[in-house]
């Protein structure tokens, strides 16, 4: 392993640890939280410090150390957590995240908050930073005060039984023994009872355990410290022997606590064996095994499975064409093949699916920062954290979500005074929820603020020349003005939103993921933004259609209904615009081939109309020549090798190996056929006179 | 597959020469992934005339350019020797329709001359240099410019 990949692994682990940290801090908000939560937070910070020390990231080590020391006081109940301290912890978590990111990107962290938070943390320590922990001081920091050596030696009895995962992670018990020997006189006795007969010996398994007696002047904490990094990877009991006995006797029911419970306040012998047993059995199973896989490998696998699906469709089509007399048996087998291929695909896609939890957790920081900057009070409530979404979706949702959350605090919520006057809780509530519903992922961002000020939005839009001064708009139309480019309601440019990026950026980002975003707002009760996204970015259900003799695909999700029109229902308005009567109202007809700049075949006739609801043009009927089939298609990006094409969202490969374009109805209706140069017609370009 | 061919020495370069629009061009061999026969492509709407469409290359969707039209030399005329050169630069893979492929050219680095100072900026952009082979001049195609779809080479 190269130094770099070890470094990468460290930062990957940091990401997980920071996640655990944020989660733990959120849990600490609950006044009745499990004391284990504080331990978890402590361990996260401590592990980051440990790793950072190994890479010589002094600044990170220093901050983590200070943070950890304060946490330790909470852990040992020397300090109570109040609202102010909790807030400080959150901010410390934010700073730690910044420092880790800065270290990862090898840039300077922006130290403005770091210094302030560090000072705050240090003020909680009251200067007397005497209780230094042993192992890291020597490594990375010089804390001046030398360890105070208590003259009395004590004896600890340590039972250590590593799990297999301990070895898998590259730990070496001998090094732990060495570390123990450094703080005192150590006697180690190996327990060979579990050693199997030679012929059934599995060299990968962990069969040894050790009983150690350590005479040392160090505190119990210092002893535990040695085992900090194998926490969860072994069964460990540490007890203080009452009398210095030379030969330690393995005690089947040791009067000690397991390290996972590590309540560092020295506990007397715990007569209730139950919690110990519980923890022990939990530990014995070890952590749920996971596999860290390079994302590229997963993506390659997904691509290959996509090929498999296409290949399966090709074979089916070929066999159908053969028109074999004894095809029944074969088609059964083919059907089984198809189902298997689909199963594999679903399984592979599931690898990419990840819970939205880390994304949502990051938003609590945004709410915190936004409320600090606007002197509003806000609290984030998340729901459906475990909802799984494709990794790419999660990554690309981060920015739009951040923006919307900031907006919700900045524009959505009222000031605490206004809220109180309106009889609301002065602390505003931002709700972030995720759910799977009918094959889509719904993400809702709602606030309980004043709701949209439609009058002001309209004024602003008129002011900016986005709508005509005499325009009469419905409430919904006014709400949607927010999504127009160049629209920002903030009267003055605040620190937060109003930086020139508006909701149109959010909308574009969501649309790029194949989703849509909508607003509902109730005056005085708040605003809700709903983002609807497809479950996966790799496959889609589509109608196979004919446009200008080309086969194309249109997403089923966008189609409200299909109409085979009667000539008498179609009417012409102006010179060439058509409308169709659908249940009493007239809907404009858009000729797809014209909008794409393709020449429709002369015999196209009335064709088939696909009724879609578009964001800019409302209800529209798309005219195509024919609908052939409904099929699941594998989405292939056009942008990776060529670039974006208006009206086309992606491409797919059909059963015959040909490429079919996937249409984007929203973009399609925006295209103006008049602007399309006639030289691009299908005839001149598509017939390159080749065999 | 030709991309496994190794350069003979540090100062030697290998090129594949081909003709497009009646002129001789070449691409460095390491940029070429494969050479395929022409098959019908799927046309893309709203694209300039030098973009013929997209083709399925073992599951990847790659755009096919008419190199002759891309360089403003008119559309490639029908010929059964026409081939598509699949070339890659970075993460982008494209196909170039050319009239025919001629040979593999192995030249010394010094044999590559700078593009003579000509009027058209676009031509200067799209040609990296020229190599003189017997009586003919072979133009070294700048793949980056061909890839830059926002550049209108054929003005």
DSSP alpha helices (H): ranges in B1-135?
67-70, 121-126
Are A660 and B42 within 8 A, CB to CB? Answer: yes
Pairing of strands A659-663, A648-653: antiparallel
Task: For chain B, say whether A676 makes contact (Cβ under 8 Å).
Answer: yes
A488 & A523 share domain: yes
pLDDT recorded at residue A678: 38
Q: pLDDT for B24-33, tens place per residue?
A: 999 999 999 9
Are B59 and A303 within 8 A, CB to CB? Answer: yes
Are A690 and B55 within 8 A, CB to CB? Answer: no
Which comes out higher in pLDDT, residue A261 or B70? B70
A654 close to A552: Cβ distance less than 8 angstroms:
no
* B31–chain A nearest CA distance, Å: 15
Pairing of strands A618-624, A585-591: parallel
Confirm whether A85 is domain-assigned: yes
- Over residues A379-391, mean pLDDT: 87
Confirm whether A495 is domain-assigned: yes
Are A676 and B46 within 8 A, CB to CB? Answer: yes
Does residue A42 surpass a pLDDT of 60? Answer: yes
Are A642 and B40 within 8 A, CB to CB? Answer: no
Locate the DSSP E strands across A33-153: none
What order do you get walking across the sheet with B60-66 strand by strand?
A: B32-37, B83-89, B92-98, B60-66, B51-57
pLDDT recorded at residue A127: 53
- The residues, any chain, with a CB within 8 Å of residue A116's CB and separated by 6 or more, are none
Domain containing residue A168: CATH number:
3.30.70.260
Q: pLDDT for A189-234, tens place per residue?
A: 888 777 777 777 777 777 788 888 888 877 777 777 778 777 777 8
Which residues, numbered 280 to 309 in chain A, qualify as contacts with chain B under a Cβ-Cβ cut-off of 8 Å?
A: 303, 306-307
Residue of A nearest to B57 (CA): A657
pLDDT recorded at residue A285: 47
Residue of A nearest to B64 (CA): A642
DSSP alpha helices (H): ranges in A76-110?
83-104
Are B45 and A686 within 8 A, CB to CB? Answer: no
Confirm whether A108 is domain-assigned: yes
- Over residues A489-506, mean pLDDT: 54
Which of the four pLDDT bands, split at 50, 70 and 90, describes residue A248? Answer: very low
* A656–chain B nearest CA distance, Å: 11
Which of the four pLDDT bands, split at 50, 70 and 90, describes residue A40? Answer: confident
C-alpha–C-alpha distance, residues B54 and B40, integer Å: 9
pLDDT recorded at residue A132: 43
Task: For chain B, say whether A51 makes contact (Cβ under 8 Å).
Answer: no
Give, as one character, the DSSP assignment of residue A567: G
Confirm whether A641 is domain-assigned: yes
Sign of CA dihedral A297, A302, A303, A305: positive
- Over residues A474-494, mean pLDDT: 68
A494 & A387 share domain: yes
ipTM given for this complex: 0.78
DSSP alpha helices (H): ranges in A375-471?
391-407, 416-421, 454-463
Query: What one-character-per-residue DSSP string does A483-501 give?
Result: GSTT----SS--SSS-SS-
Range of the domain at A325: 295-353
Find, among A160, A163, A164, A162, the residue nearest to A187 by Cα.
A160
pLDDT recorded at residue A538: 66
Residue of B nearest to A595 (CA): B45
A386 & A442 share domain: yes
pLDDT recorded at residue B140: 92
Rg (CA), chain B: 15
Are A689 and B77 within 8 A, CB to CB? Answer: yes
Residues paired with A526 in a beta bridge? A522
pLDDT recorded at residue A488: 62
Task: For chain B, say whether A267 makes contact (Cβ under 8 Å).
Answer: no
pLDDT recorded at residue A124: 80
Task: For chain B, say whether A678 makes contact (Cβ under 8 Å).
Answer: no
What order do you get walking across the sheet with A585-591 strand by strand?
A: A559-563, A608-614, A618-624, A585-591, A577-582, A570-573
Does residue B151 surpass a pLDDT of 70? Answer: no
Confirm whether A282 is domain-assigned: no
* B98–chain A nearest CA distance, Å: 12
C-alpha–C-alpha distance, residues A513 and A502, integer Å: 18
pLDDT recorded at residue A288: 67
Q: pLDDT for A513-565, tens place per residue?
A: 777 888 888 888 889 999 988 776 667 778 999 888 889 999 887 788 898 88
A224 & A333 share domain: no
pLDDT recorded at residue B138: 92
Task: For chain B, say whether A682 makes contact (Cβ under 8 Å).
Answer: yes
Residue of B nearest to A640 (CA): B92
C-alpha–C-alpha distance, residues B146 and B148, integer Å: 6
A665 & A557 share domain: yes
Which CATH entry fits the domain spanning B12-147: 1.10.1060.10, 1.20.210.10, 1.10.600.10, 2.40.50.180?
2.40.50.180
Task: For chain B, say whether A690 makes contact (Cβ under 8 Å).
Answer: yes
* B63–chain A nearest CA distance, Å: 6
B37 close to B118: Cβ distance less than 8 angstroms:
no
Confirm whether A145 is domain-assigned: no
Find, among A10, A2, A494, the residue nearest to A229 by Cα.
A10
Taking contacts as CB-CB distances below 8 angstroms, the residues of chain A near B66 are 688
A333 close to A315: Cβ distance less than 8 angstroms:
no
How does the average pLDDT of chain A come out, rounded?
Answer: 76
Confirm whether A415 is domain-assigned: yes
A82 & A162 share domain: no
C-alpha–C-alpha distance, residues A665 and A659, integer Å: 19
End-to-end CA distance of chain A: 54
Task: For chain A, say whether B21 makes contact (Cβ under 8 Å).
Answer: no
pLDDT recorded at residue B10: 64
Q: How far is CA A522 from the centre of its chain?
A: 30
C-alpha–C-alpha distance, residues A435 and A442, integer Å: 5
Does residue A343 surpass a pLDDT of 80? Answer: yes
Does residue A641 surpass a pLDDT of 90? Answer: no
Residue B39 CB neighbour total at 10 angstroms: 13
pLDDT recorded at residue A318: 80
C-alpha–C-alpha distance, residues A199 and A195, integer Å: 11
**Opening angle at CA A316, ends A311 and A321, nearest 5:** 125
Answer left, alpha or beta for residue A323, where phi above 0 means left and psi between -120 and 50 means alpha. Answer: left
**Domains in chain A: how many in total?**
5
Domain containing residue A643: CATH number:
2.30.30.40
Residue of B nearest to A550 (CA): B42
Task: For chain A, say whether B58 makes contact (Cβ under 8 Å).
Answer: yes
pLDDT recorded at residue A673: 60
> What are the C-alpha distances in Å from A241 to residues A177, A245, A569?
18, 8, 95
pLDDT recorded at residue A444: 93
Taking contacts as CB-CB distances below 8 angstroms, the residues of chain A near B84 are none
- Over residues A437-452, mean pLDDT: 85
C-alpha–C-alpha distance, residues A580 and A620, integer Å: 9
A564 & A606 share domain: yes
Q: pLDDT for A89-121, tens place per residue?
A: 888 888 888 888 888 888 877 666 788 888 888
CB-count exposure of residue A128 (10 Å: 0-12, 13-18, 19+):
exposed
Return the number of CB contacts < 8 Å for A and B.
100
Instruction: List the single residue in A310, A641, A685 with the smallest CB-CB distance to B52.
Output: A685
Does residue B16 surpass a pLDDT of 90? Answer: yes
Best to test chain B binding among A642, A648, A649, A671 (most B CBs inside 10 Å): A642
* B133–chain A nearest CA distance, Å: 30
C-alpha–C-alpha distance, residues B29 and B106, integer Å: 10
C-alpha–C-alpha distance, residues A141 and A267, integer Å: 31
Task: For chain B, say whether A589 makes contact (Cβ under 8 Å).
Answer: no
> What are the C-alpha distances in Å from B50 to residues A67, A686, B96, B122, B151?
62, 11, 10, 15, 12
> What are the C-alpha distances in Å from A199 to residues A41, A190, A193, A202?
45, 21, 16, 9
pTM for this prediction: 0.50
Q: pLDDT for A62-90, tens place per residue?
A: 888 888 888 888 887 777 778 788 888 88
A556 & A504 share domain: no
- With residues binned 3-state (H G I as helix, E B as strand, rest as coil), the percentages for chain B, rounded to 5, are 15, 50, 40
Confirm whether A285 is domain-assigned: no
A225 close to A182: Cβ distance less than 8 angstroms:
no
**Opening angle at CA A373, ends A371 and A375, nearest 5:** 60
A330 close to A284: Cβ distance less than 8 angstroms:
no
A150 close to A165: Cβ distance less than 8 angstroms:
no
Instruction: List the single residue in A306, A640, A653 with the smallest CB-CB distance to B91.
Output: A640
Domain stop point among A499, A518, A534: A534
CA dihedral A91→A54→A70→A13, nearest 10 degrees, is: 50
Task: For chain B, say whether A313 makes contact (Cβ under 8 Å).
Answer: no
Q: How many residues does chain B have?
A: 155
């Amino acid at each position: 392993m190269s130094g770099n990949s070890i470094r990468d692994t460290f930062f990957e682990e940091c990401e997980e640890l920071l996640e655990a940290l944020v989660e733990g801090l959120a849990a600490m908000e609950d006044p009745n939280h499990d004391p284990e939560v504080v331990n978890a937070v402590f361990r996260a910070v401590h592990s980051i410090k440990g790793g950072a020390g190994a890479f010589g990231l002094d600044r990170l080590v220093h901050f983590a150390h200070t943070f950890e020391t304060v946490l330790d006081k909470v852990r040992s109940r020397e300090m109570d957590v109040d609202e102010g301290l909790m807030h400080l912890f959150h901010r410390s978590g934010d700073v730690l995240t910044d420092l880790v990111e800065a270290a990862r990107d090898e840039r300077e962290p922006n130290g403005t908050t770091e210094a302030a938070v560090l000072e705050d943390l240090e003020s909680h320590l009251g200067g007397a930073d005497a209780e230094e922990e042993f192992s890291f001081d020597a490594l990375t920091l010089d804390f001046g005060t030398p360890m105070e050596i208590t003259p009395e030696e004590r004896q600890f009895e340590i039972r250590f039984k590593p799990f297999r995962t301990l070895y898998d992670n590259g730990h070496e018990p001998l090094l732990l023994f060495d570390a123990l020997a450094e703080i005192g006189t150590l006697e180690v006795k190996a327990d060979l009872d579990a050693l199997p007969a030679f012929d059934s010996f599995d060299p990968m398994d962990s069969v040894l355990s050790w009983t150690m007696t350590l005479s040392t002047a160090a505190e119990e904490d210092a002893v535990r410290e040695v085992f900090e990094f194998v926490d969860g990877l072994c069964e460990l009991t540490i007890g203080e022997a009452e009398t210095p006995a030379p030969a330690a006797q393995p005690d089947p029911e040791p009067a000690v606590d397991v390290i996972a419970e590590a309540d560092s306040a020295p506990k007397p012998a715990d007569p209730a064996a139950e919690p110990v047993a519980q923890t022990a059995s939990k530990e014995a199973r070890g952590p749920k095994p996971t596999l860290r896989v390079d994302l590229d490998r997963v993506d390659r696998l997904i691509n290959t499975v996509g090929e498999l699906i296409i290949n399966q469709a090709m074979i089916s089509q070929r066999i159908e064409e053969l028109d074999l007399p004894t095809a029944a048996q074969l088609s059964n087998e083919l059907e089984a093949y198809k189902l298997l291929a689909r199963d594999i695909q679903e399984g592979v896609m599931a690898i990419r699916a990840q819970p939205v939890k880390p994304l949502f957790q990051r938003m609590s920081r945004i709410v915190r920062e936004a409320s600090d900057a606007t002197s509003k009070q806000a609290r984030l409530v998340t729901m459906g954290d475990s909802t799984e979404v494709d990794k790419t979706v999660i990554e690309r949702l981060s920015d739009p979500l951040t923006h919307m959350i900031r907006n919700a605090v900045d524009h959505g919520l009222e000031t605490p005074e206004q809220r109180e006057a309106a009889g609301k809780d002065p602390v505003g509530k931002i709700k972030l929820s995720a759910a799977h519903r009918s094959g889509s992922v719904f993400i809702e961002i709602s606030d309980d603020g004043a709701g949209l000020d439609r009058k002001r939005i309209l004024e602003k839009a008129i002011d900016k020349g986005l709508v005509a001064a005499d325009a009469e708009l419905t409430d919904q139309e006014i709400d949607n003005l927010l999504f127009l480019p160049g629209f920002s309601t903030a009267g003055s440019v605040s620190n937060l939103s109003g930086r020139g990026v508006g909701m149109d950026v959010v909308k574009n980002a969501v649309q790029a993921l194949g989703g849509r975003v909508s607003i509902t707002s109730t005056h005085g009760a708040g605003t809700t933004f709903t983002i609807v996204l497809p479950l996966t970015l790799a496959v889609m259900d589509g109608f196979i259609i004919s446009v200008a003799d080309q086969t194309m695909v249109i997403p089923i999700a966008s189609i409200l209904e299909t109409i085979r029109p009667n000539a008498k229902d179609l009417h012409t308005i102006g010179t060439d615009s058509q409308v169709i009567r659908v249940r009493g109202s007239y809907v404009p007809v858009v000729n797809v081939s014209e909008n794409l700049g393709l020449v429709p075949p002369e015999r196209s006739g009335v064709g088939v109309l696909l009724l879609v609801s578009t964001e800019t043009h409302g209800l529209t009927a798309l005219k195509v020549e024919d609908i052939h089939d409904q099929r699941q298609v594998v989405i292939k990006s056009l942008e990776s090798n060529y670039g974006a094409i208006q009206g086309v969202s992606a491409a797919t490969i059909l059963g015959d190996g040909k490429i079919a374009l996937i249409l984007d109805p929203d973009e399609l209706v925006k295209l103006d056929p008049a602007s399309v140069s006639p030289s691009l017609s299908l005839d001149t370009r598509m017939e390159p006179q080749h065999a | 597959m030709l991309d496994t061919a190794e350069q003979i020495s540090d100062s030697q370069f290998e090129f594949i020469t081909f003709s497009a629009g009646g002129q001789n061009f070449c691409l460095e061999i390491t940029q070429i992934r494969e050479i395929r026969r022409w098959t019908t492509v799927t046309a893309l709407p709203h694209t300039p005339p030098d973009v013929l469409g997209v083709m399925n290359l073992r599951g990847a969707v790659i755009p096919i350019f008419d190199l002759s039209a891309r360089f403003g030399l008119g559309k490639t005329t029908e010929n059964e020797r026409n081939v598509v050169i699949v070339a890659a630069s970075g993460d982008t893979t494209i196909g170039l329709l050319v009239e025919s492929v001629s040979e593999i050219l192995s030249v010394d680095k010094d044999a590559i001359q700078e593009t003579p100072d000509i009027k058209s900026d676009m031509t200067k952009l799209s040609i990296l240099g020229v190599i003189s082979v017997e009586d003919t001049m072979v133009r070294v195609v700048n793949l980056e410019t061909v890839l830059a779809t926002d550049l209108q080479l054929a003005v």
